[in-house]
Structure 1
Amino acid sequence: MRTRVELEPVYLLSSRAYRDSSLLLEVFSRARGRVGLVARSARGGNSRWRGALQSFTPLLLSWSEAGELGTLSGAEAAGPALALQGERVFHGWYLNELLLRLLPRHDAHASLFERYALALAQLAGEAALAEEALRIFEKHLLAELGYGLLLPDELEPAQRYRYDAELGPLPAVADDASAYAGASLIGLRDEHLPDAPARRDALRLLRAAIAPHLGGKPLQTPRLLRELKARS
C-alpha cells in the first residue's frame, strides 16, 4: 500500500549520489522519524530540487512511500538556513551523525525533533552555550532511545562519583581521575553547565554512555574536527 506524505516538517541529515542521476536522502521528520527518500534526477543541472535541499534548514517535504524508501515529490523551505560557521558546522554534522547512527528508520520522536531544532539554533550562539546544547541533546537522545542517564536528586556537589550504567553515580575516592564531580552531574541533570569543568565531565560521561550503542564503529565527525584542528 502506497502512503503519501504532504508538507511534513523535516531536516536533511545526509545526501549522497544514488544510481545514475538521483540522490538518496536521509531526513529527520517530526511525525515519522528518520526516513530514507530518493530525489529522482536531483543531480542534473536543471533539477527541480537544485538549491532546495540544504542541511540545517527547516524544510517541508512531500513524498510517497510503499517500502523502505520513499520518493520525493515536493520540497520547500519552512524557514531560513541557520548560519553555522567554522567548528559549528562540524557540530551540526555531529548531531546529524548521531541521529543517522542511533535512530532506526520510521521511529517517530517528535520531542527529539524539537530538541534538534533548538540545538541547531543554539549552535549559532556563543561557544559555551553551543557546547552545552550538544551535551543536552546527547542526553535527550539517549533518553528517547531508552538509555537515559540515572542522575538522582540526592547528588552532592562536593562529592566525586564514578558512573555505573545500571546503578548510576556511585561515590568515588577523591583522587580518582576518572570520576565526575558531583556539581557536574547536577548541572547535567538540571541541563545547565556553567563552567568548563562541568562541560568536560558531561562530555566524558555522555561519550562513554553513547559508545556502547555504536556497534564498535566510532563516530567520524569528532575525528574529522580533531584532524582539522591539528592541521591549523
Structure 2
Amino acid sequence: MRRVADEPAFVLHRYDWSESSLILELFTRRHGRIAVVAKGAKRPSSNFRPVLLPLQPLHVAFSGDAEIRTLKSAEWLGGQAMPAGEALLVGYHLNELLLRLLARDDAHPALFDAYAATVGVIAARAADATEPALRAFELLLLREIGLLPSLAAQTGTLAPLADDQAYALKPEAGLLEAADDEPRGSLSGRQWRALQHALDDDAPFTALLPQTAAAPDLKPQLRALLHYHCGVASLRTRQMMLDLQAL
C-alpha cells in the first residue's frame, strides 16, 4: 500500500466510526482534502487523542489507496493557541467552506498556505485583522477552484473597468456595472483592479490584506457568491453565529 509520511495537515472535521475509532477529513498540503480512519483514537490511551484537534497544525503519516486511508501517525507542531469563542466559529467557517467546495484528492498548496496563515491570524485574536484575512482567504479559495472571474474587466463584455465607476460581483453574471440603487455591495473599478493585482502577486495572501481591509463592501458580495456555489441559503457556521448573537 502507498504510504505518505511527514505531510502538513489540518483536521477539518471528524466523525465517529466505531466505539474506539474516528474518520477524519484532513486538509493536506500535497494531497488536498482526504479522508482517513484513526483507529483507536477515542481510547484514553491513544496517542491520537490529544493531537487530532481542529485549527492546529499537524504533520501526519497515512497509507492506503482506497477512498479512506489509514492514519499511521500525527504530530502536533505547536506554535499557536487554540481559537476560542467567536474565533473558533470563524475557524469552523473556513473548514465548512473547504468541506463544501474542495473535491477530494485535489491538491492546492497555495490555498493550504493561505489557510494556515488565516488560522494564525484567527488564533492571535487580532480583531482588526480577522475580517481582512477572511476576505483574502475567500478570494483565494474561489480563484483556486475556478469560481472567481477576472476582477480586472467586466465579465460579460471584457470591457475595461473605469476607475470611479461602481461594479458589483454577481453569482450568475460575474463582475458588472452596479445598479444606481446599489451603492452598497459594490466597489470601484480601481478597487477591483487592485484586488486582481494582489491575487496575481507572488505572495497573494499578504498582498490582499491591505486591499480587503480597505473594501468592507466586498463581504456581502463574496458571501452571496459562496452561498451560491455551496448551494445553500446560509452556511451552518454563519447561522450558528447568528443564533448565538441573538441569545
Check if 1:185 corresponds to 2:192: yes
| Cα gap change, 1:60 to 1:162, in 2 (>3 Å) | closer
Report the counterpart of residue 151 of structure 2 in structure 1. Answer: 151
Measure how far apart 1:177 and its partner are.
Answer: 4.8
Check if 1:224 corresponds to 2:209: no
Which deviates further from its counterpart, 69-78 or 204-213?
A: 204-213
Distance 1:121 1:18 in 2: 30
Measure how far apart 1:217 and its partner are.
Answer: 6.6
Q: Secondary structure at 1:208's aligned position in 2?
A: helix
Question: Any unmatched runs of 5+ in structure 1?
Answer: none
Distance 1:59 1:74 in 2: 10
Question: Any unmatched runs of 5+ in structure 2?
Answer: 154-159, 199-207
Q: Could you tell me whether the CA contact under 8 Å between 1:61 and 1:74 is conserved in 2?
A: yes
Measure how far apart 1:17 and its partner are.
Answer: 1.1
Compute the TM-score of the two structures, normalised by the length of structure 1. 0.88
Q: Could you tell me whether the CA contact under 8 Å between 2:58 and 2:75 is conserved in 1?
A: yes
Matched to 2:246, the amino acid is A
Check if 1:209 corresponds to 2:225: yes
Query: C-alpha deviations, 1:124-176, integer Å up to 9, x for none?
Result: 25223210111111111111111123211754453222334576432234332
Compute the TM-score of the two structures, normalised by the length of structure 2. 0.83
Query: C-alpha deviations, 1:185-215, integer Å up to 9, x for none?
Result: 35644421334xx22x211111122223213
Check if 1:104 corresponds to 2:87: no
Report the counterpart of residue 132 of structure 1 in structure 2. Answer: 132
Report the counterpart of residue 121 of structure 2 in structure 1. Answer: 122
Measure how far apart 1:32 and its partner are.
Answer: 0.4
Which deviates further from its counterpart, 174-183 or 215-224?
A: 174-183
Q: Secondary structure at 2:212's aligned position in 1?
A: coil
Report the counterpart of residue 213 of structure 2 in structure 1. Answer: 194
Matched to 2:17, the amino acid is Y
| Cα gap change, 1:219 to 1:173, in 2 (>3 Å) | closer
| Cα gap change, 1:228 to 1:165, in 2 (>3 Å) | closer
Distance 2:48 2:213 in 1: 42
Report the counterpart of residue 62 of structure 1 in structure 2. Answer: 61
RMSD: 2.2
